[in-house]
């Protein structure tokens, strides 16, 4: 088997004396999707922040294409190809769609034009609304815009942290469709998601965190309702 695109080995994170993540290990292949499940406080967002360099690891390693990126700063990890979309829509509401997208790249004009062509081909609705203020888009469309900004740098890994949080069901569909388009464009996806059933249907593999520890990992299609409920409870959204 080929080496994973992203490999996490015994990753731990501490906030002072509190252990938020305890020796978590997993691998992510090229163009794969991983669902990260767990109840509130399980360590899911801490994992996302550690992978993207927003919080330091206290021990363990994160490797991208065989290179150790554990100690790199967040901007260096992003340049290496790991893009984190944190909870919340992360768009500049007072700027237009086009202005938001242009802020996603600080490279030369030709590369920026190529990036715009890419995201408008993936998300035609954004091309149609390029002059519209981002704050007037629907919640799902704002998440689409956030993802489009990430795709302009052609990331190897997209970490989507609760992108469907607070959205109406139809807008949740838009989020999942957008993430599928990211995969179609060649990115691997790490999905932290409240809708466990939707996440498992989307993903190839899954891990379940509980109190900062990895308690289950395996193929997403083997993580049935009973297993998920045993760790996440009856309200797990399966």
CATH of the domain at 179: 3.40.50.300
Number of domains in the chain: 1
pLDDT at 12 over 60: yes
The per-residue pLDDT of the chain, averaged, comes to 87
pLDDT at 237 over 60: no
* Structure tokens, 106: 């600080």
Neighbours of 5 (CB within 10 A): 20
Contact 76, 53 (CB under 8 A): yes
User: Residue 147: inside a domain, yes or no?
Assistant: yes
- Predicted confidence (pLDDT) per residue in 23-46, tens digit: 999 999 999 999 999 988 899 999
Average pLDDT over residues 199-227: 90
Distance CA(13)–CA(47), nearest Å, equals: 8
Confidence of residue 206 (pLDDT cuts 50, 70, 90): very high
- Predicted confidence (pLDDT) per residue in 68-126, tens digit: 999 999 999 998 999 998 765 578 889 999 999 887 665 556 667 777 888 888 888 89
User: Residue 146: inside a domain, yes or no?
Assistant: yes
Residue 38, domain extent? 6-232
pLDDT at 238 over 80: no
Rg of the chain in Å (alpha carbons)? 17
Distances (CA, A) of 186 to 29, 31, 150, 194, 205: 11, 6, 13, 24, 17
CA-nearest of 18, 12, 42, 46 to 216 is 42
Q: What percent of the chain has pLDDT over 90?
A: 51
pLDDT at 147 over 70: yes
User: Residue 238: inside a domain, yes or no?
Assistant: no
As a whole number of Å, the end-to-end CA separation of the chain is: 32
Query: What pLDDT is recorded for position 110?
Result: 61
Question: What are the beta bridge partners of residue 216?
Answer: 208
pTM, to two decimals? 0.84
Element (H, E) at 158: strand 157-161
DSSP character for 221?
Answer: G
User: Residue 131: inside a domain, yes or no?
Assistant: yes
Query: What pLDDT is recorded for position 133?
Result: 95
Q: Which residues contact 231 (CB under 8 A, 6 or more apart)?
A: 37, 38, 39, 208, 210, 215, 216
User: Residue 227: inside a domain, yes or no?
Assistant: yes
User: Residue 79: inside a domain, yes or no?
Assistant: yes
User: Residue 117: inside a domain, yes or no?
Assistant: yes
Distance CA(128)–CA(51), nearest Å, equals: 34
User: Residue 128: inside a domain, yes or no?
Assistant: yes
pLDDT at 236 over 60: no
């Amino acid at each position: 088997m080929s080496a994973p695109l992203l490999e996490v080995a015994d990753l731990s994170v501490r906030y002072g004396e509190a252990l938020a993540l305890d020796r978590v290990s997993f691998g992510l292949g090229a163009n794969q999707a991983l669902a990260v499940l767990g109840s509130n406080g399980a360590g899911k967002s801490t994992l996302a922040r550690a992978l993207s360099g927003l919080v330091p690891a206290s021990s363990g390693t994160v490797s991208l294409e065989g290179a150790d990126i554990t100690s790199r700063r967040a901007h260096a990890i992003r340049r290496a190809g790991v893009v984190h979309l944190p909870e919340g829509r992360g768009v500049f509401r007072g700027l237009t769609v086009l202005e938001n997208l242009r802020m996603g790249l600080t490279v030369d004009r030709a590369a920026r034009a190529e990036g715009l062509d890419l995201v408008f081909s993936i998300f035609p609705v954004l091309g149609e609304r390029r002059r519209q203020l981002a704050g007037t888009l629907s919640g799902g469309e704002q998440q689409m815009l956030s993802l489009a900004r990430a795709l302009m740098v052609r990331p190897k890994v997209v970490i989507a942290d609760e992108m469907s949080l607070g959205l109406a069901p139809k807008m949740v569909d838009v989020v999942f469709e957008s993430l599928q388009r990211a995969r179609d464009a060649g990115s691997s996806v790490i999905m932290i998601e409240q809708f466990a059933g939707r996440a498992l249907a989307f993903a190839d593999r899954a891990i379940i965190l509980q109190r900062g520890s990895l308690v289950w990992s395996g193929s997403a299609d083997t993580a049935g309702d009973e297993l998920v409920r045993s760790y996440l409870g009856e309200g797990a959204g399966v």
